[in-house]
Structure 1
Amino acid sequence: MIKGLRTFLYELKYAFVGMKRHIMLCFSAISAIGITLLLIGSVLIIGLHVNYFSNDVQKDLSIHVVLNEDIVDEASIEKVKADISKIKNVSKVEVSDKDNELELMIKEKGEAFKAYRGDANPLSNAFFVYVKNASSIRKTSAQIRKIEGVSSTAFGGDSVTSLVEMLNMIQKIGLGIVALLILLSLYLIYNTIKTTIDSRSDEIMIMRTVGATNGFISNPFIVEGIFIGLLGSVVPYLLVHFGYEKLYESLDGKLFTPMFSLFKPSVIRFEVGLSIIFAGILIGGFASLFAARKYLKMKR
């Protein structure tokens, strides 16, 4: 245990010595990583909200299925319901009898329709069908329309499906941007550690001569990369921590309408803030590991 502690302290000291010797290079890498992690944090915040908005829209999106006038008994209604439930994209089917349909019409079109309550109700029984994937709602609606006993189907229309498709596209673009930014971060730290290793080639040769293992030689560089990534994540974390809180307060917790409610600052601080810190540490560690292993492999 004492030996392990001594080794760790040596690696820590050696990492700091390396950073001190190449302070301008490290500062440049830390600055670049900081900007990259800030962009990653911004994209993550946008992505979280887009995903939340998309799920919220899809959760309430349904197909209104009107049955034929002769579908009145419970057995016939249940048969049509079972046929609809077999469609892959269907997640839930709710029955809306003719009386409920009339009440919805009264609520939507006015109290004049109250005159049709009771035996005068001309409406048919219906279903509200909820889907798993809102982007396929048009196809699902067409499949339901073909089922025997179904008179007509209706859903939110092109505007709703276009909104869902747009939100899904933004999510995919966001993931692509995050992937590119992570690759850029890896490249920046990789080059920094590679330059540091090249400048210490004589020291590495001496250590190899006295029998030092590859792990003993490469560990200080990995620690150095972790520190660069960690230091680079500090400013982005603080900007996300305080910046989002100010944004949340200035927008009163919503984006344009209450329908698009923003995440509370505590959620963003925890999920995005910690993601930035862990991303900095992991990117720094892995980039340094790749650089050290590649160098040691070439110089066998």
Structure 2
Amino acid sequence: MIKGLRTFLYELKYAFVGMKRHIMLCFSAISAIGITLLLIGSVLIIGLHVNYFSNDVQKDLSIHVILNEDIEDSNSIKKIEKDIIKLKNVSRVEFSTKDNELELMIKEKGDAFKAYRGKSNPLSNAFFVYVKDASSIGKTSTQIENIKGVSSTAFGGDSVTSLVKMLNMIQKIGLGIVTLLILLSLYLIYNTIKTTIDSRSDEIMIMRTVGATNGFISNPFIVEGIFIGLLGAVIPFMLVYFGYEKLYESLGGKLFTPMFSLFKPSIIHFEVGLSIIFAGVLIGAFASLLAVRKYLKMKR
């Protein structure tokens, strides 16, 4: 245990010596990674909200299925319901009686329709059909419309599918940007560690001569990479932590309308803040490992 502690302290010391020797190079890498991680944090915040908005829209999105006027007996209604449930994109079906349909119309269009309550109700029974994939709601609506006993369907038209497709596209673009930014961070730390290793080639050669293992040689460089990544994550973490809280307060917890509610700061602090720290440490360790392994492999 004491030997392991000494080794660990040596690795820490060696890592700090390396950073001190190349302080300007480390500073530039930390600054660049800080900017990159800040961009990653911003994209993650946008991505979380887009995903939330998309799920919220899709959760409440349904096809209003109007049945023929003569469909009133329970057997016919159950048969149509079974035919709808068989469709691949259907997640659940809710039955709505003609009386319930009238109440919904009164709520939406005014008290004038109260006169149609009772036997004078001209409406038909209906279903509210919820789908798994909102981008295919148009296709599912057409399939339902072709079922015998269905009079018509409505789901909000092309504007709804366009909104869902746009939100899905934003998610994919965000994922692509995050991937590119992570690769950029890897490249920056990789080059920093590579330069540090090249400057210490004589020391590494002496270590190998006296029997030092590859692990003993590489660990200080990996620790150095972790510190660079961690230091690069500190400022982005603070900006996200305090910046989002100010943004949330200034917007009153919503974006334009109550429909687009923002995540509470505590959620962003935990999920995005920790993601930035974790990304910095992981990217630093992985980039350093790649650099030192490549060097040791070449110098065998």
Task: Pick the TM interval, shorter chain.
Answer: over 0.9
Residue 172 of structure 2 is matched in structure 1 by 172
- Alpha-carbon deviation of 1:40? 0.1
Matched to 1:114, the amino acid is: K
Q: For structure 1, which segment, 106-115 or 280-289, has the greater mean C-alpha deviation from structure 2 after superposition? A: 106-115
SS at match of 1:129: strand
Distance in 1 of aligned mates of 2:245 and 2:117: 52
Give the distance between the partners of 2:47 and 2:24, measured in 1 at CA. 34
Corresponding residue for 1:23? 23
Cα separation, 2, equivalents of 1:226 and 1:176: 24
C-alpha displacement at 1:18, in angstroms?
A: 0.3
Q: Tell me how far apart the structure 1 counterparts of residues 116 and 252 of structure 2 sit (CA, whole Å).
A: 44
Equivalent AA in structure 1 for residue 2 of structure 2: I
CA offset at residue 96 of structure 1? Answer: 0.4
Identity of aligned residues (%): 88
Q: How do 1:74-223 and structure 2 match up within 5 A?
A: 74-223=74-223
Deviations 1:65-114, CA, capped at 9 Å, x for gaps: 01111211111111111110111111110000100011111112222211
Residue correspondence of structure 1 range 222-233 to structure 2 within 5 A: 222-233=222-233
SS at match of 1:156: coil
User: Which whole-Å CA distance do the structure 1 matches of 2:278 and 2:108 have between them?
Assistant: 51
More off after superposition, 179-188 vs 53-62: 53-62
User: Which is further off, 159-168 or 246-255?
Assistant: 159-168
Give 1:117 shift. 1.1
Q: Tell me the secondary structure at the aligned position of residue 71 of structure 1.
A: coil
Structure 2 residue matching 1:287: 3-state secondary structure? helix
Local SS of the residue matching 1:212: coil
Q: Give the partner amino acid of 1:30.
A: I
Deviation string 1:148-179 (CA, Å, 9 cap, x unpaired) is: 11111001111111111111100000000000
Measured in 1, the distance between the counterparts of 2:185 and 2:105 equals 57
For the residues of structure 2 that align with 1:184 and 1:130, how far apart are their CA atoms? 42
SS at match of 1:92: strand
Deviating more after overlay: 29-38 vs 153-162 = 153-162
What are the residue-to-residue correspondences of 1:250-289 with 2, within 5 Å? 250-289=250-289
Alpha-carbon distance in structure 2 between the residues aligned to 1:121 and 1:257: 36
The corresponding residue for 2:236 is 236
In the superposition, the TM-score normalised over structure 1's length comes to 0.99
d(CA) in 2 for partners of 1:73, 1:292:
76
Aligned to 2:299: 299
Deviation at 1:209, TM superposition (A): 0.4
Q: How many Å separate the matches in 2 of 1:114 and 1:22?
A: 81
Question: Structure 1: which amino acid aligns with 2:138?
Answer: R
Letter in 2 for 1:66: I
Q: Which runs of 5+ in 1 are unaligned?
A: none
Deviations 1:18-69 (A, max 9, x none): 0000000000000000000000000000000000011111111100001111
Tell me which stretches of 4 or more aligned residues in structure 1 moved more than 6 Å: none
**Cα distance, 1:121 vs structure 2:** 1.1
Find the aligned partners of 1:35 and 1:111 in 2 and give their Cα distance. 58
CA distance in 1, matches of 2:107, 2:254: 28
2:101 counterpart SS class: helix
Q: What residue in structure 1 maps to residue 39 of structure 2? A: 39
The 2-side partners of 1:109 and 1:251 are apart by 32
Q: Structure 2 length normalisation: TM-score?
A: 0.99
1:119-151 per-residue CA deviation (whole Å, 9 max, x = no partner) reads 111111000001111111000101111111111
Q: Which shifted more, 73-82 or 196-205?
A: 73-82
